[in-house]
Chains A and B, each alone.
Chain A
């Protein structure tokens, strides 16, 4: 029996990623991680710099695939195929399609600077989903209104504040109707007064039932919104549990040491 068979069907698992990844000089950046995210739940990833949070998210987004292991989404292999008694990542040509199920928001927003907010949101649905422009535009405007930017549709990224740019990035990801949304430190490039507007948009998204995996050290947000907090260190998942556990101190010494530093 292959390893997948034992892992495909834990009840309610919507997103499931497990495996390892090594970069160039033998540094194990993901060391036998195994993470499940139930449908409609919010998981917050915390951990010191270099612990592998970004690498894990990029693996799920199929930007930097795992060496061993695989990603399962909604009961299906996501970007991988079975090969022998392991898994192999699909060739780039096929990955392009596979990526569509997962939306990602980056620390630096990565908006397209030569396109307006509206054009940023509309680009992919028109070009990759080949949906009719008028319909996409209507939906894009609605998404921008949803993140509180209904009046900034024609602004270029350079004309928007960081918080506004990040909300455009969220709208852009949502326009692809992803099954899962990934956030890589979405507020850590923002001035403090802009953090809450982005977290507000994320909270609203969580309440709408989106499945979310978020690398963030916003512990207040985690406490309020997350169903689960996962602590990573040295490429491993060291501890995971409900947010309250991380506040009431029923966690191991490494986690407590880390929390003392960031809280």
Chain B
């Protein structure tokens, strides 16, 4: 028999796959969340007035964007014990994902901060706002709005990148699929199930992203009739 529907349905609804899919989801969410925090700090570091801070931030981004994430994961898990640090597989996996993604987020955020027209900064300066106040109150809110679509793309990417932590045998979708195959010797059904889960997760994310973007009107299709800010901040409707 070439294709076993019963096996496919059985695996699709098995708790094993459901748990593995859940692991993929929470790894994605936690890793991306922490990466945004890290990337935010590093982006500000790259725009700092202190040379050492700029240098350290730049060095981090250079190394982590310049090497394969697979290598980074292996170094973290197998290399760290050599200097006396023994992370669990999950710790190594999360750390690896966060450090790698943080570098990309930093570059994205920096670009979006620099894309805010200089006139905004000038206006802040003549009003007596300090550098940090200008970043926090004027530049970041505007940079974040243009950053959101790119972040959506990053999350989409992250859903699939998490499959790499299967090399550390974290039981996410890919690792579970391979374990299943080695028990059943039926790769086609198992990988088909994994495919369905990956597509379901990223489709779900597309929906979330669509809803978020609609709320914050990133495309500004609302034009002048709708406020170009998150709806919840607006106290009035169309003028």
Contact = CB atoms under 8 A, between A and B. Distances in A.
Chain B interface residue bracket vs A: 20 to 34
Interface string A7-34: 0000000000000000000000000000
B236 A112 contact: no
B228 A155 contact: no
A173 B236 contact: no
Contacts of A129: 128
Interface in A114-130: 114, 116, 123-124, 127-129
Interface in B187-239: 220, 223-224, 227-229, 233-236, 239
Nearest to A159: B239
Residue of A114, A116, A158 most packed against chain B (CB within 10 A): A114
B119 A106 contact: yes
A155 B119 contact: no
Contacts of B117: 110
A221 interface: no
Contacts of B234: 156
A176 B228 contact: no
Nearest to B49: A92
A228 B147 CA distance: 48
A172 B227 contact: no
Nearest to B236: A154
B125 A99 contact: yes
Contact of B129 (A62, A110, A111, A127): A127
A177 to B, nearest CB: 11
Contacts of A127: 129, 133, 137
B145 interface: yes
B120 interface: yes
B141 A124 contact: no
A113 B129 CA distance: 17
A92 B130 CA distance: 9
Interface of B: 117, 119-120, 122-123, 125-131, 133, 137-138, 141-142, 145, 220, 223-224, 227-229, 233-236, 239
